[in-house]
């Protein structure tokens, strides 16, 4: 694990936006086009090719959902239910309301909030098990009052989904669960098939083929984001226990060998202790190989001269996850401008936000926290402007509006105002 001592070395810590391999993009385009033309037949073919499943029906039955409960531990079920309650409570505070304002001249202006009609939630499958993905993507859509929520997930070779995935979806009341993954599932959601009606927006993580497919269909439908590998930055001073820092760095490193894990501190001694502790804990991890490659390639401890410089480093990195473990983390909160999620204090482990606290774990990566936000209820609604102009207001402001229109060379725009203010003159 590197220890960076020179400010100029910060450039080496920044992760550049990863480009999708042109060959992957080409393959994805072919799949999308094929599904658009052949629908379910194409989806079935690709599901057999990529997942080894020969399906007679794409949709999960009610019997499959009920049977899944027999294979889910009671403590896991309790955790799912409590996490769902926490996530729903947090996101309920994000719900925006339609509003109106009235001016003295009779003008009425406002904004109408309308939920999307339909959303597709992609949930990774195969060897992966991500019930938390379902919670984080479905609940904000439900809070927004999206009418139709469809979940897609790749089946195993036996044509089944993991019990925890089915139980979580059932707990949330998701009725339509479609057994398909990869680019073919994204295509089915975007274009629709005989059995699956198209949606207006696609959310949820996936592999490079899913990311490429989402990028291709954007514009035909909306998407949440193109997510990169996971990232964490821990901002800490010498008051912190280095074992906490190391554990949290590794909590992201074990995700993916491309994950980034960086500590920023003002203490050389702490930097060395963190490095040593990371190595000690690495040797005890079941996913040591993945975590070690992540730490060796994208892990570092950056030593700043002052706390102010340390905060500036954080803002330049704009991490997905930021933990602030200092003597008084709240003193720094106002100075932090760019981070997807901010965890304050030594007991606010990143894992708390990933699963249970209630905040959303779908966060901007690759430095896009400079201009992007976590997935939230607003992502599942749209806004319409409301304009009701009175005659008094149009008479008063009509000449200004017409003048503006003519400045842009749009005579018909000007006349559309004047015909109302000059009693039929054109």
The catalytic residue positions are 320-321
Contact 140, 95 (CB under 8 A): no
- Which tokens belong to 26? 């080409």
Q: Give one DSSP letter per residue of 123-147, joined into a string.
A: ---TT---HHHHHHHHHHHHHTT-S
CA 103 – CA 388 distance, rounded (Å): 11
Tokens of residue 147, six digits: 């009418």
Based on the number of CB atoms within 10 Å of its own CB, is 415 exposed (0-12), middle (13-18) or buried (19 or more)? middle
Cβ neighbours of residue 173 under 8 Å, at least 6 residues apart? 142
Q: In which order are the strands placed within the sheet that holds 299-303?
A: 2-4, 299-303, 260-265, 231-236, 321-325, 341-344
The H or E element spanning position 37 is helix 22-38
Residue 420 near residue 398 (C-beta atoms within 8 A):
yes
């Amino acid at each position: 694990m590197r220890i960076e001592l020179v400010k100029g070395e910060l450039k080496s810590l920044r992760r550049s936006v990863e480009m999708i391999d042109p060959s992957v993009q080409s393959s994805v385009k072919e799949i999308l086009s094929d599904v658009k033309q052949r629908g379910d037949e194409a989806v079935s073919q690709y599901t057999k090719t990529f997942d080894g499943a020969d399906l007679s029906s794409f949709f999960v039955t009610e019997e499959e959902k009920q049977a899944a409960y027999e294979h889910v531990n009671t403590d896991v079920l309790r955790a799912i239910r409590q996490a769902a309650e926490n996530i729903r409570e947090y996101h309920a505070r994000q719900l925006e309301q339609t509003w109106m304002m009235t001016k003295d001249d009779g003008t009425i202006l406002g904004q109408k909030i309308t939920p999307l009609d339909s959303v597709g939630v992609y949930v990774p499958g195969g060897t992966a098990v991500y019930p938390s993905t379902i919670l984080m993507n479905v609940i904000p859509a439900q809070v927004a009052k999206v009418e139709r929520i469809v979940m897609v997930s790749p089946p195993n070779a036996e044509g089944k989904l993991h019990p925890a995935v089915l139980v979580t979806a059932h707990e949330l009341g998701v009725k339509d669960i479609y057994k398909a993954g990869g680019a073919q599932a994204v295509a089915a959601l975007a274009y629709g098939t005989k059995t699956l009606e198209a949606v207006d927006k696609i959310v949820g993580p996936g592999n490079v083929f899913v990311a490429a497919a989402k990028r291709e269909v954007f514009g035909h439908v909306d998407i949440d984001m193109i997510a990169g590998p996971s990232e964490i930055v821990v901002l800490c001073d010498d008051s912190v226990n280095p074992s906490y820092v190391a554990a949290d760095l590794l909590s992201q490193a074990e995700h993916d060998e491309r994950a980034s894990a960086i500590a920023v501190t003002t203490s050389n001694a702490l930097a060395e202790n963190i490095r040593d502790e990371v190595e000690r804990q690495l040797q005890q991890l079941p996913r040591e190989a993945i975590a070690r490659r992540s730490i060796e390639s994208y892990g570092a401890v950056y030593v700043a001269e002052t706390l102010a410089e340390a905060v500036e480093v954080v803002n330049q990195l704009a991490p997905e996850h930021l933990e602030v473990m200092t003597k008084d983390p709240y003193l720094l909160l106002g100075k932090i401008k760019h981070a997807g999620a901010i965890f304050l204090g030594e007991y606010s482990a990143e894992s708390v936000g990933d699963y249970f606290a209630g905040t959303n774990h779908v966060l901007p990566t690759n430095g896009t926290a400079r201009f992007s936000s976590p997935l939230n209820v607003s992502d599942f609604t749209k806004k319409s402007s409301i304009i009701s102009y009175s005659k008094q207001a149009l008479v008063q402001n009509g000449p200004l509006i017409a003048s503006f229109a003519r400045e842009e060379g749009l005579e018909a725009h000007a006349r559309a105002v004047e015909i109302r203010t000059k009693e039929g003159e054109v």
